[in-house]
Amino acid sequence: MYYLLCTHFLSAENLTKHFSVIQCFITSAFLLYNDSALKKATFYLFSQLFLQIRMPFFPRYGMIDSILYKGDYIMKRPFTQLEKKQLLIFTLIAFGIPYLMGIPMAFGYQRGTSLDLFANAQMYYPAAGAIVVFLLTKTEFPMPRRFFYGYLVLTVLFAISSVLSVLIPDANLWVMVINMLTIAGNLALWVLFLLDKREVRFIWGLTWSGPDSRKHFLYVLLFFMLFVGNILVSCLIEGTAASFLGLLNAPLFWLSLASLFVSFFLVFSAFFGEEYGWRYFLQPILQEHFGMRKGVLILGIFWGLWHLPLNLFYYAPETRLQSIAAQLITCIALSIFFAFAYMKTDNLWIPVLLHFMNNNIAGLFSGGSISGNVIEWKAVLIHLLLYGIFFCPFLASKVFRESETEKK
């Protein structure tokens, strides 16, 4: 009965005529999603609804991505005018702002000023770009506007503070500003997040959802094992395995690791910032137009080039070419695994957690310093080899297999 009622409203004209009824079905599908007897009907409703109203401005549902982008539904097609407009807005914000920020970063680098705020602020721009696209596009579907507007305000505050940190070079002041903005901003965002209705958050990919959601942490555990294994092999090659194993045997390391997951709730917005832009907004578009595998690889290249101002003036300004090469390798490899985990779980919070782990566990092993490094080409080659071994094989997963329709 539920299945028949769902299909009744799936004609293009009924979608606009009976929007409120469809909204009820979306809500009911969300509430009944964990009922195995209704799971197929729920999937059918969402996939067909999404396909019928496939207007370029419509958001990509996290749960629906697995249906649309790994089955026979996917069809390569040219970009529509509205999609081009979407991508232009996203590019101007997600890429344009970081590249413009390269100018004050270059000025700050010449003066020896700390650029930590720029690195922090840049993580917010991809999600800000996606949110602005959604807000500027007229849609009758309800949005989590409190959370969206709050996120944009926090993004603007970080952007302004990063520029001011160069004009007023007071290291102690800006450390305090970073901490205040991060803690107060994230707490405020959680409040705004919870004030928006759960079914509305679900529509825009903001809830912990997807099939077998209790098992999603297995992908976090898998990533941790791969990440540590990658570092261990790298240390063996470089002859520093003893110090690495000594770090693992230190109780302080495991206490610091446990504290990281507690701190996630106070710093989540930065990692959400990248993943909501890259994985939720851009990945499905690129996969739809270029294919499952090519779309993810193209995203990895874009993601790597997005870091260019940081590579030039922050990460390793003395070895810029090596830094750019290592960044591209990292982003392409991690794009594969993050996409794999996201498509397997239909849960955006998994790549958000993976991104958080990647940045912070790397900090634990490196002593917390990510700026002013010197990278040799030998290290880049080792990096290419190990990331290729540990993460790239996931591109062969069946979740990336293209349908026969797409291949033709």
Region 384-398 average pLDDT: 96
Q: Are residues 197 and 218 in the same domain?
A: no
pLDDT of residue 81: 86
Q: Which residues form the domain of 193? A: 81-202
> Are 154 and 228 in the same domain?
no
Predicted pLDDT at 115:
93
Instruction: Report d(CA 193, CA 334) in Å as an integer.
Output: 27
- Does 291 have pLDDT greater than 90? yes
Contacts of 407 (CB under 8 A, 6+ apart): none
Indicate the angle between helix axes 145-167 and 97-111, nearest 10 degrees.
30
Check whether 366 has a pLDDT greater than 80.
no
Q: What is the mean pLDDT of residues 299-310?
A: 98
Q: Is residue 42 part of a domain?
A: yes
> Does some domain include residue 66?
no
Residue 59 has pLDDT above 90, yes or no: no
Residues 178 and 220 in one domain: no
**pLDDT score, position 154:** 97
pLDDT of residue 210: 67
Q: Are residues 365 and 251 in the same domain?
A: yes
Is residue 62 included in any domain, yes or no?
A: no
pLDDT band at residue 334 using 50, 70 and 90 as cut-offs: very high
| DSSP conformation letters of 203-232 | HTT-SS-STTGGGTHHHHHHHHHHHHHHHH
For residues 245 and 375, state if they share a domain. Answer: yes
**Over 50: is that where the pLDDT of 275 sits?**
yes
**339 in a structural domain:** yes
Average pLDDT of the segment spanning 2-15: 41
Computed over every residue of the chain, the mean pLDDT equals 82
Percent of all residues in the chain with a pLDDT value above 90, rounded to a whole number: 60
Q: What is the pLDDT of residues 214-241, one digit of tens each?
A: 789 999 999 999 999 999 999 899 888 8
pLDDT confidence of residue 83? 87
pLDDT over threshold 60, residue 405: no
Same domain, 194 and 218: no
Tell me, yes or no, whether 72 lies in a domain: no
Q: Which of 146, 148, 156, 173 is closest to 121 using CA atoms? A: 156
Query: pLDDT: is 141 or 291 the higher one?
Result: 291
Condensed to tens digits (0 to 9), the pLDDT of residues 81-102 reads: 888 999 999 999 999 999 999 9
Q: Are residues 35 and 123 in the same domain?
A: no
Percent of the chain having pLDDT more than 70? 78
Q: How far is CA 13 from CA 10, 19, 52, 53, 141, in A?
A: 8, 10, 10, 10, 16
pLDDT at res. 374 = 92
What is the structure's pLDDT at 194? 94
Total number of domains in the chain: 3
Which of 15-19, 150-154, 261-265 has the largest mean confidence? 150-154
Among candidate residues 181, 202, 223, the one where a domain is terminated: 202
pLDDT band at 371 (very low <50, low <70, confident <90, very high): confident
284 and 187 fall within a common domain? no
Same-domain check for residues 194 and 125: yes
On whether both 197 and 253 belong to a single domain, the answer is no
Co-location of 229 and 359 in the same domain: yes
**What gap in Å lies between CA 304 and CA 323, rounded to an integer?**
10
pLDDT digits (tens, 9 = 90+) for 167-179: 998 888 888 989 9
For 346-359, what is the mean pLDDT?
95
Residue 162 lies in a domain: yes
Residue 156 lies in a domain: yes
> What's the confidence (pLDDT) of residue 156?
97
Mean pLDDT calculated for residue range 367-393: 91
Does 236 share its domain with 348? yes
67, part of any domain: no
Which residues are within 8 A (CB) of 178 and not within 5 positions of it... i.e. 6 or more apart?
116, 117, 120, 161
